[in-house]
Each structure stands twice: as structure tokens, then as C-alpha cells.
Amino acid sequence: MEQKLNKQIAWLESLENRAAEGLDIDTLQARIIEDRMYFQHERLIHLIVTMTVSMILIFVFYIFFSLLNTLFGILFLLLLILDSAYLIHYFRLENGVQKLWELEQRLFAKYK
């Protein structure tokens, strides 16, 4: 997902640096908005997954300290690692989508 987002950002940056000659602006704008909507949907899905894993992590943390069971401690550590990875991925996805939106706004302002 991250590679596809980076390719989209690079493509928009190349469009921003090129001249508007020969470009169908309306078709281009529709494609760009469709791609951004796809990334926004992915961002929403990753937010839901991240929040779900975080809630499960808090629940397991509570059970671990209530029962002092080592299996729940191991489960807590595994979920902590998983949640950390989700948070890093979501952070990168969020920043990428925001950068994509800023590029779109500059591009649309330039060509309209």
C-alpha cells in the first residue's frame, strides 16, 4: 500500500512540474479524486483495525494485571508489537494521504 501511495505522489509531482499542454484536465481530475478516495478508504480501514487491536490490547493488559498470568503477559507483548506496527503503518498512510491531498490542491489550482 505504501509503495502504491508513493507512486501516486511521485506521479502527481511529475504532473505538477509538466506543462498543461495535451492534458484533459477533467478526466485527470476525476482519476486523481478516485485514487485519493481509494487511499482514504484504506486509511479508514486501517484506523478501524488499529483501534480494535488497541482496545483488545487494553483488555488483555487489564486481565494480565488482574490475574498475573504469564500467558496473558505473553499475549500482551505480542499484541503490543502488533499494535506498534499498525500505528507506524497508519501514521505513514495518514501522512501520505495528506501529502497527496496537498499536491492535488496545488495541481488543481495550477490547471484551473
Q: What percent of the chain has pLDDT over 90?
A: 45
Q: How many CB atoms lie within 10 A of CB 102?
A: 12
The confidence score (pLDDT) of residue 30 equals: 84
**How is 55-102 classified by DSSP, letter by letter?**
HHHHHHHHHHHHH--HHHHHHHHHHHHHHHHHHHHHHHHHHHHHHHHH
pLDDT tens digits, residue range 61-107?
Answer: 999 999 999 999 999 999 999 999 999 999 999 998 898 888 888 88
What integer best gives the mean pLDDT of the chain? 87
- 31: confidence class by pLDDT, cuts 50, 70, 90: confident
